[in-house]
Amino acid sequence: MTLDPTLADWLSLALRWAHVITGIAWIGASFYFMWLDSHLEPPAVPKKGVEGELWMVHSGGFYVVDKIAVAPEELPKTLHWFKWEAAFTWITGFLLLVVIYYLGSASFMVDPDILDIPKSTAILIGLGALVISWVVYDALYTSALAQKGVWSAVIGIVLLCAISIALTQLLAGRAAYMHVGALIGTIMVANVWMRIIPAQRQLVNARKAGTEPDATLGKRAKQRSVHNNYLTLPVVFVMLSAHYPGTYGHKHNWAILLALFAVGAVIRHWFNLKNARRIAWWPIPAGVALFIAVMIATAPPGGDMAAGGGATAPVTFAEVKEIVDKRCVNCHAAAPTNPDFKTPPKNVRLDNPDQIRRHRDRIWATSVASVAMPIGNSTGMTPEERDMIGAWIRQGAKTE
């Protein structure tokens, strides 16, 4: 089953808009509470049960926050919970995954050059990854290893790397990236709804029942909150990656994904250290250096597209036009023949010489520097054809 392309576009817009809005709310709350925790100070006047206090000024008013060590002896009339931001971020994200990938073109999910499988199988792999990842992660952090911070963290990172690599070897590049992001998002929202909120409810219920709350519940909930905090920037990268085919469309896309995950986690670590008043400048240069290293390592052979080198023989426009007509025009035309599109994707038309030359930068990025296009290589563009297009662009992209 596939959706009507026009309906799919509008649904995608609505869901993406809602996903970004709710994601901002969730991420903002996560960042705020991590910052707040790290800036608490002992109360100027000791208060029973208060672990720390914080004075703030914002928008013309003063605010004071007290953090209770375990649970207040008397519960307030109104207690605000932070959970729906997480729920709606996941719901809109999952529906977006369904609209674009599961109900969209099979080319979004499957690339025969990676693994020639039915779309239905690819969908089952994607859904299975979401479920299995949470089950394994939660089993790890409810086991005895969870008390051994370093080892549980190492195992968790290794497992994340393993499933990320596996998905890039099973699904089309863009779909693999999105499913890695979705499985991390699933872990994060399950942390909130299945571990953090239930632990907090148990603390509240214990106080209501007149029994002493179990302090370890709060510590376990805090551990999951910290995990979510460090996973946030990697997920944001995945949300942006669809706009950068040089990442998911690269032959070593799994290495790029993991490296940029590391960049995000390192930068987040710097913020957390800074908030805790622990000055450590190494994360910023380390993150920048890793980012630059990825950029250099993934540069296509033959140098920049504007450089004259890289071609062994002149390539004529007629040769390029033949490739474009055969591999690209079924989607990128005024009237696409591909049934999955009523209009050319991103309004890129390649019907005539002027249009092909005008879009040479985009063609380079998606079909020479990466293999993002054709989508899922559904028309079977060969490496030799990509080299010919790249040579033509480097030689000046002449149409005469």
Residue 216 banded pLDDT, cuts 50, 70, 90: confident
Does the pLDDT at position 6 exceed 90?
no
Q: Are residues 187 and 78 in the same domain?
A: yes
pLDDT at position 132, please? 96
Q: Is 228 exposed, middle or buried (0-12, 13-18, 19+ CB in 10 A)?
A: buried
The CA–CA distances, whole Å, from 69 to 63, 74, 103, 204, 315 equal: 19, 13, 48, 13, 72
Q: Are the C-beta atoms of 257 and 247 separated by less than 8 Å?
A: yes
Which among 76, 58, 227 is positioned nearest to 66, based on CA atoms? 76
d(CA 383, CA 364): 13
Mean pLDDT, to the nearest integer, of 25-45?
89
d(CA 2, CA 98): 10
What range does the domain containing 98 cover? 5-238
Which of these ranges, 108-117, 214-223, 241-250, has the smallest mean pLDDT? Answer: 214-223
Please state whether 346 falls in left (phi above 0), alpha (psi between -120 and 50) or beta: left
pLDDT at position 38, please? 87
Residue 252 lies in a domain: no
DSSP state of 41: B
Q: Are residues 213 and 336 in the same domain?
A: no
pLDDT at position 120, please? 95
In the listed set 222, 238, 254, which residue is the last one of a domain according to the structure? 238
Q: Are the C-beta atoms of 128 and 120 separated by less than 8 Å?
A: no
DSSP reduced 3-state for 68: strand
In the listed set 238, 254, 275, which residue is the last one of a domain according to the structure? 238
What does the angle CA 299 – CA 303 – CA 305 come to, to the nearest 5 degrees? 95
Q: Are residues 228 and 335 in the same domain?
A: no
Mean pLDDT, to the nearest integer, of 144-156?
82
Tens-place pLDDT, residues 308-366: 444 468 899 999 999 999 999 999 988 888 887 888 888 889 988 899 999 999 899 88
Mean pLDDT, to the nearest integer, of 168-182?
96
Both tokens of 4, joined, read 């009507």
Q: Are residues 322 and 233 in the same domain?
A: no
Residue 285 lies in a domain: no
- Report which listed range, 41-45, 47-51, 163-167, 306-310, is most confident: 163-167
pLDDT at position 61, please? 93
pLDDT at position 211, please? 84
Mean pLDDT, to the nearest integer, of 209-233?
88
Residue 56 lies in a domain: yes
Residue 71 lies in a domain: yes
Which among 295, 167, 179, 332 is positioned nearest to 242, based on CA atoms? 179
pLDDT at position 311, please? 47
Q: 């020639």: which residue's tokens?
A: 116
Q: Are residues 230 and 336 in the same domain?
A: no
Q: Are residues 90 and 193 in the same domain?
A: yes
Q: Are residues 106 and 198 in the same domain?
A: yes
d(CA 213, CA 380): 62
DSSP per-residue codes, 319-378: HHHHHHHHHTTTTSSSS-SSTT-SS-GGG---SSHHHHHHTHHHHIIIIIS----SGGGT
Count of domains observed in the chain:
2
d(CA 386, CA 388): 5
DSSP reduced 3-state for 63: strand
More confident residue, 97 or 47: 97
Q: Are residues 187 and 324 in the same domain?
A: no
Q: Are residues 217 and 329 in the same domain?
A: no
Does the pLDDT at position 122 exceed 90?
yes
Tens-place pLDDT, residues 267-311: 999 988 888 888 888 999 999 999 999 999 888 765 555 544 444
pLDDT at position 307, please? 47
Polymer length of the chain: 400
Q: Are residues 152 and 16 in the same domain?
A: yes
Residue 266 lies in a domain: no
d(CA 229, CA 270): 12
Q: Are residues 196 and 328 in the same domain?
A: no
Q: Are residues 75 and 187 in the same domain?
A: yes
Residue 330 lies in a domain: yes
d(CA 54, CA 289): 36
pLDDT at position 302, please? 56
Task: Tell whether the torsion through CA atoms of 53, 56, 62 and 65 is positive or negative.
Answer: negative
Residue 291 lies in a domain: no
In the listed set 216, 238, 260, which residue is the last one of a domain according to the structure? 238
Residue 199 lies in a domain: yes
pLDDT at position 304, please? 55
